[in-house]
Copies of this chain bind each other. A is one copy, B any other.
């Protein structure tokens, strides 16, 4: 078992391991969980004498309807200000429950049991909580760090292989940003491998280091968007058939190709290796014009330029605007590179 700590104002620990002990608390507790991990949530609720409610995970969980429904249930049962909310599930559950905790009675404490690789290394760390609007993802939320994060590796046993791998893309991204060679080899891992604990702890530590520097999104934290600018456009243009992790892998490959066009170190072999392991197979017919219009849509309204995270070498990235010509050429390189994953 590995215990990490996130410095104030976050000020909480992140425990990663198998059969992680349940925290002891004297506060009333309510547990909100993804029914797929009821086997973890039910004993937790029992240990705290808590009420519990299941919420089906997925982006639709991060809606106003679900948000309001949980708040009303809590109000109806008279949950007091010193209560704790415990979230058990993937990133959509921890995002939602964290936001409920941020706003119920103007803020109560919460704890997170992330049950996907993605949530363990990314979503549950950093205090970002929120829900979606029809107008876009994560447009409503709050910074509200949990009181504790418990990454129970046993919960990964029931995670589909594709999602297990997909979540490690964010860890891989931390590897690109930090230069940590261990993080660049996720293919050695399975849900029951002995190295998993150490791997996830390294990835979580990288994210912790970034959020400690910068709680609000700017500066260092912006680098965590590596690969995400194109990824979001790919997700939308594929009608969300492309998973987030796969989209980010494709997006990072694109950023790496932009870096090459700009004369920086060529790190594309790492990303090709990642994509071979992920085995994405999907339609990638969108043209540069299509994708660019998705990327530009929100920014345009705000009169802002698009900033790209460019991996200038392993362990170093910079955030900057990029000439249109370079973006187009890199896209053409990218099209050729990804042909084998299409269709």
Contact = CB atoms under 8 A, between A and B. Distances in A.
A336 interface: no
A306 interface: no
Interface string A101-135: 01111110000000000000000000011100111
A127 to B, nearest CB: 9
Given A68-B64, A106-B130, A304-B80, A139 B75 contact: yes
A103 B106 contact: no
29 contacts: A64-B64, A64-B68, A68-B133, A71-B139, A71-B140, A72-B133, A72-B134, A75-B133, A75-B135, A75-B136, A75-B139, A76-B135, A77-B301, A78-B301, A78-B302, A80-B302, A80-B304, A103-B103, A103-B130, A103-B140, A103-B141, A104-B140, A105-B141, A106-B128, A106-B141, A106-B143, A107-B142, A107-B143, A142-B142
Closest 9 CB pairs of A and B: A78-B301, A75-B135, A80-B302, A106-B141, A75-B139, A103-B140, A64-B68, A75-B133, A78-B302
Contacts of A75: 133, 135-136, 139
Interface string A296-309: 00100110100000
A103 B99 CA distance: 9
Nearest to A135: B75
Interface residues of A, number: 34
Given A133-B71, A134-B72, A78 B298 contact: yes
A107 B143 CA distance: 8
A26 B75 CA distance: 40
Contacts of A130: 103, 106
B133 A103 contact: no
A142 B135 CA distance: 23
What DSSP secondary structure best describes chain A's contact surface?
mixed
A135 to B, nearest CB: 4
A190 B302 CA distance: 45
A298 B129 CA distance: 28
Nearest to A99: B103
Given A72-B133, A103-B140, A106-B141, 4 more contacts: A76-B135, A78-B301, A106-B128, A107-B142
Nearest to A76: B135
Contacts of A136: 75
Given A64-B64, A301-B78, A142 B72 contact: no
Interface string A43-83: 00000000000000000000010001001100111101100
Contacts of A141: 103, 105-106
A64 B131 CA distance: 14
A143 B136 CA distance: 25
A78 B130 CA distance: 18
A103 B129 CA distance: 10
Nearest to A134: B72
Interface in A2-56: 28
Contacts of A129: 106
Between A68, A134, A143, A301, the greatest number of chain B beta carbons within 10 A of the residue's beta carbon is seen for A68
A78 B135 CA distance: 9
Interface in A120-169: 128-130, 133-136, 139-143
Interface string A205-226: 0000000000001000000000
